[in-house]
């Protein structure tokens, strides 16, 4: 089974969110099961740096008014990867999607159209004599790959499109359509048009042979008006082609027994190291060492999606109960400001670090007692699973992948705390439940044992993707 895996970011070389973690772990898991998986990525500087020596396999004239682009082959952490070397599109400062000020690049429609267009060119065996059986593309950036394949027609590879977050859609004015060089009728309701605009994620959802998303609950939720971001009708009509496959956790990266980034290692049978991690975290952040309550941790983008405004609202209750908070994140200016102010007002109880810091993320997950993830919506979510692995009980809203991975303490197999409503009072009530269980150390210990037993290895999920591929290409 030959699979071209089309995306934009891969941990550790380039990461803006959980997508990079998935892209680092799923391809190797598929390769271990015998699939010939190769990545296709824009040649962003950070990726090129990680890829080392490259070999040029093709030079292409494009339809996007660029100089000819090169396709070069290398590897990323041992996984074969093709890079689209188009410096005028990809060799820029800032992150893959925005400039240094956080503004979308004005030519994003062309930059990411090129990614989908090159993916479809692989069907011609144009590169390296290698033709994929499946083109598996991810999120809106790669959403045009299924459209270009559909436009090509004939004997083409099967297409799979995975939605990691439906709220980022890649919408552009109607006038950009001509520059995409797709057949004119693709700009319509039965195509990639969405309320008069070009919509890249809709292209993926409409044209892919199969759609997946990253948890079973999110797969159901996105078929409703509440969570469908306007795509619910289309998704309902394609329900037979849509599956939810839960993300996993990479044990090479997130395992308290071997994690080199934390001050002491531990496992479910030897938790002394976890206490060391907690003290070190408190000390490192200037938090009080004699707090009676649990230490809550959060590692997150600070956006409306993640519900951290609820946490900010519930902070008085958290600190009144003797709890502490260690938060690492970056994003919306008002949230950053709100958390900074809370930390300034309660320096022994609330510590806030604004920015992106992989080491600190590990130290918080290991040192905290509770991982807070109060998301409004959550396609899968990773930090609650990291929390489980590290015996740091997740406190989550019952939504998306959070609902699929955390079981409330009220039932015998519980391993965390789950609340329903999206408001400060509901989170506050959940905090009270955390405090009451905290006062019963044997119950806390039982929950922690249960949490650390949870297994989110990638293999079962990788098998499900492989089954999906085989359903499309039974003889490959």
Residues at the contact surface with ligand ADP, assessed by CB under 6 A: 17-19, 21, 299-301, 328-330, 356-358, 361, 380-383
Q: Closest-CB residue for ligand ADP?
A: 18
Three-point CA angle 256, 257, 261, nearest 5° = 55
Distance CA 285, CA 282 (A): 5
Shortest Cβ 356–ligand ADP spacing (Å): 4
- Choice between 40 and 326, CB closer to ligand ADP: 326
In terms of CB distance, is 41 or 437 closer to ligand ADP?
A: 41
Which value, in Å, is the radius of gyration of the alpha carbons in the chain?
Answer: 23
Closest CB to ligand ADP among residues 330, 472? 330
Question: Taking the complex as a whole, how short is the minimal distance between the CB of residue 167 and ligand ADP, in angstroms?
Answer: 10
The distance of closest approach from Cβ of residue 265 to ligand ADP in the complex, given in angstroms and rounded to an integer, is 19
> 3-class SS at 238?
coil
For ligand ADP, the closer CB: 104 or 432: 104
Nearest distance, CB of residue 456 and ligand ADP, angstroms? 12
| Of 132 and 381, CB closest to ligand ADP | 381
Task: Please report how close the Cβ of residue 381 comes to ligand ADP at its closest, in angstroms.
Answer: 5
β 55-60/171-172 pair status = unpaired
Closest approach, Cβ 359 to ligand ADP, in A, equals: 9
Would you list the DSSP string of 377-446?
A: --SS-SHHHHHHHTT-EEEEESSHHHHHH--BTTSTT--BEEE-SSSHHHHHHHHHHHHHHHT-HHHHHH
Q: Which helix (H) or strand (E) holds 205?
A: helix 200-207
Which residue's CB is nearer to ligand ADP, number 25 or number 35?
A: 25
CB of 191 to ligand ADP, least distance (A): 28
Distances (CA, A) of 107 to 43, 65, 104, 110, 361: 16, 12, 8, 5, 33
The full DSSP string for 298-358 is EEEEESGGGTHHHHHHHHHHHHHTT-EEEEEEEE-HHHHHHHHHHHHH-TTTEEEEES--H
**Residue 330 or 426 having the CB closest to ligand ADP:** 330
């Amino acid at each position: 089974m030959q699979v071209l895996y089309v995306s934009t970011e891969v941990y550790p070389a380039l990461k803006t969110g959980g997508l990079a973690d998935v892209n680092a772990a799923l391809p190797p898991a598929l390769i271990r099961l015998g699939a010939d998986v190769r990545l296709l990525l824009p040649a962003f500087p950070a990726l090129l740096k990680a890829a080392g020596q490259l070999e040029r396999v093709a030079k292409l004239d494009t339809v996007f008014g660029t100089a000819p682009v090169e396709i070069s082959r290398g590897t990323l952490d041992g996984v074969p990867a093709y890079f689209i070397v188009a410096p005028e599109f990809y060799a820029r400062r800032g992150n893959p999607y925005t400039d240094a000020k956080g503004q979308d690049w004005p030519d994003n429609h062309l930059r990411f159209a090129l990614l989908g267009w090159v993916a479809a060119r692989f069907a011609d065996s144009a590169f390296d004599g290698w033709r994929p059986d499946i083109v598996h593309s991810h999120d809106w950036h790669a959403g045009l790959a299924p459209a270009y394949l559909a436009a090509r027609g004939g004997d083409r590879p099967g297409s799979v499109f995975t939605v990691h977050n439906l709220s980022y859609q890649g919408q552009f004015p109607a006038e950009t359509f001509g520059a995409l060089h797709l057949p004119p009728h693709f700009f319509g309701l039965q195509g990639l048009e969405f309320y008069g605009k070009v919509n890249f994620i809709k292209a993926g959802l409409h044209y892919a042979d199969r759609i997946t998303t990253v948890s079973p609950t999110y797969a159901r939720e996105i078929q409703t008006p509440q969570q469908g971001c306007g795509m619910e009708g289309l998704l309902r009509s394609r329900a037979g082609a849509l599956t939810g496959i839960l993300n996993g956790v990479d044990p090479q990266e997130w395992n308290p027994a071997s994690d080199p980034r934390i001050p002491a290692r531990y496992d479910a049978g030897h938790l002394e190291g976890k206490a060391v991690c907690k003290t070190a975290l408190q000390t490192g952040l200037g938090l009080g060492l004699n707090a009676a309550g649990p230490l809550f941790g959060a590692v997150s983008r600070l956006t409306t999606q993640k519900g951290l405004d609820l946490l900010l609202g519930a902070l008085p209750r958290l600190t009144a109960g003797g709890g502490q908070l260690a938060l690492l994140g970056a994003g919306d200016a008002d949230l950053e400001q709100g958390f900074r102010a809370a930390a300034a007002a309660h320096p022994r109880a609330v510590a806030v670090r604004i920015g992106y810091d992989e080491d600190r993320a590990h130290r918080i997950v290991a040192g905290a007692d509770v991982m807070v993830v109060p998301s409004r919506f959550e396609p899968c979510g990773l930090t609650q699973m990291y929390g489980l692995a590290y015996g740091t009980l997740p406190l989550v809203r019952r939504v998306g992948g959070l609902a699929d991975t955390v079981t409330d303490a009220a039932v015998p197999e519980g391993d965390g705390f789950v609340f329903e409503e999206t408001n400060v009072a509901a989170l506050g009530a959940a905090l009270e439940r955390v405090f009451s269980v905290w006062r019963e150390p044997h119950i806390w210990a039982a929950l922690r044992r249960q949490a650390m037993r949870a297994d989110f290895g990638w293999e079962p999920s990788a098998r499900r993707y492989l089954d999906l591929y085989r359903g499309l290409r039974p003889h490959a």
